[in-house]
Amino acid sequence: MANVNKFLLRKTHRQTNVELARLNREMALKMIMLASETGDIEPLMDAVQAFRSTEELFNQNSAPIEDAKIQKKLGDVLFSIGKNEVNMRALEHAIIAYRGAITIASLLGAEGLRAEVREKYKLALKYAGHEGGNAPLSIQVVA
């Protein structure tokens, strides 16, 4: 009886994690739409944080490759803003988004996407003033 309850609990926990990841993905997409409608970059940074909060829930069955592609696009937009407007906060969030995309691509074995994002990640680090392609400890902990 105890084993059955334990199995049901694990199954419910897994389903809840998948649902939470889906909800955070939806929230991130809505933040991206809001940013495109308003021109404000703050929702983009919120979208990065929404994705970051789901990474602990990722596994090969619950992390769709679309998540990595969305995080890459978020990184691209924030990198562009950070570079063109000299906005360090946007650059730091681009770095976080790129790290998330690299994590998911690695988890799923999408080596082509991973390599592409790593190049952009290194470039974002360089523009943010982190010579040698290494993020400072504070960004590495977040990413």
The mean predicted confidence, pLDDT, of the chain is 81
Q: Per-residue pLDDT tens for 27-76?
A: 888 888 888 788 788 888 888 887 777 666 665 566 678 888 889 989 99
Cβ neighbours of 135 (radius 10 Å): 19
Q: What band does 112 get if pLDDT is binned at 50, 70 and 90?
A: very high
Give the integer Cα–Cα distance in Å for 8 and 12.
Answer: 6
Helix axes 2-38, 42-54, angle to 10 degrees: 170
Q: Per-residue pLDDT tens for 9-38?
A: 888 877 887 787 778 778 888 888 888 788
Say what the pTM is.
0.74
Map out the domains of the chain as residue ranges. 2-142
Please tell me the least confidently modeled range out of 3-12, 64-73, 89-98, 132-141: 132-141
pLDDT exceeding 70 applies to what percent of the chain?
A: 83
Residue 111 pLDDT greater than 90, yes or no:
yes
Give the integer Cα–Cα distance in Å for 129 and 116.
Answer: 21
3-state helix, strand, coil in the chain (%, to 5): 85, 0, 15
Q: For the CA atoms of the chain, what is the radius of gyration?
A: 17
Give the integer Cα–Cα distance in Å for 100 and 94.
Answer: 10
Of 9 and 127, the structure prediction assigns the larger pLDDT to 127
